[in-house]
Structure 1
């Protein structure tokens, strides 16, 4: 093996060892609890049910061309009929009347959404500030790729594609963590080299005027 090849392998090893633990960042994004269990397929039945449900809704709109307003109204009609039948039967039988005050969305759900939204906004602001040029260019490139892909899909198909990525990719990452971390570390290293070369070839060649010193009185 040549010296340059061995140096490159050694540099890859050092870069990989010095790369931050993507798993900890990954788990900090998805959090713990029910959401992580669904995304990582720890609760197989629930994850499969959500996947089948969203696929069925996508099929209704995209394949059978069902109208969204009609579907929403039919869902409300069905829900009202179920509540009416349940409430009526409870009146004339020994069933206890349902307590509608218990049918509420947990406050923890809103807190989780509020916390995650703020975290995303802070990360977006930090990335857009350009403090980390590698992250800045990677994010810009990702948005551009998504925009190109989105131009070839309808909004519904794009949302369904994003859902499939969110539903499947986290579980695949946890299974093939070492391989993904190695590829990401190499990608970050190549991006840093590209940014350095861009700065050397173009930014350093921009002529800079001489700064005149102020005369002191």
Structure 2
């Protein structure tokens, strides 16, 4: 029986663990709409516009150190001055087509898709935390705890704007990288998890199993 137990544990260790096990394409997982097209750079013009806009916002708030009220006021001042000059020139030069208010750039469906994705992902957080906490292997659990701690330490050295911008960059880069290199990433993660499982098995064999157990645990083991 001991031999079968050891062989089962060896088979368990040799089994590759995937970083993300998914049957659907990444595009469908992200919602399959406008937001998915932007995150996966399938609509390159919209993705580039959003990237440029987020970079400008980060530059204004973090590098130039503007605050939100200043940005909003100066934006409306610039727009009002531009419209005033535009209308005056149209009146003086007698243009046939007077200036008009441009149409909304972002469609309503974009915000609906974004809200739907956030709603679905938020409802998946608690079951995922329960799964990782209670049902995952100890090496995976410890790896997640260490990763979260490292992220928290790194986050203490960045401002909130920098964290938002870094999060946005991850949203714009990680999905398309994982879509293109899905197999390579899973293989790399699987190799790392195999090494961690072997280290844990050695630690369990050399240290944990040598800890004296009480009578109740001895009866259960028998």
Report deviation, 1:152: 2.5
In structure 1, the residue matched to 2:202 is 197
Q: Which residue of 1 aligns with 2:63?
A: 63
Give the aligned length.
Answer: 187
Deviation at 1:131, TM superposition (A): 3.6
Task: Specify every segment of 5 or more residues in structure 1 that has no aligned partner in the other structure, as ranges.
Answer: 1-10, 86-102, 213-217
Higher RCO (CA < 8 A, seq sep 6+): 2
Whether the 8 Å contact between 1:38 and 1:47 is mirrored in structure 2 is yes
State yes or no: 1:122 paired with 2:127.
yes
Partner of 2:45: 45
For residue 29 of structure 1, report the CA deviation from its aligned partner.
Answer: 4.7
CA, structure 1 residues 109+72, in 2 after alignment: closer, same or farther (shift >3 Å)? same
**CA shift in 2, pair 1:64/1:194, >3 Å:** same
Given that 2:35 and 2:114 are in contact with CA atoms closer than 8 Å, whether structure 1 keeps it comes out as no
Cα distance change on mapping 1:154 and 1:207 into 2, 3 Å: same
In the aligned structure 2, how far is the partner of 1:176 from the partner of 1:163?
A: 20
Q: Say if 1:23 and 1:177, in contact at 8 Å, map to a contact too.
A: no
CA gap of 1:41–1:72, structure 2 versus 1, over 3 A, is: same
User: TM-score under structure 2 normalisation?
Assistant: 0.66
The 1:118–1:63 alpha-carbon spacing in structure 2 relative to 1, beyond 3 Å, is same
Secondary structure, aligned partner of 2:123:
helix
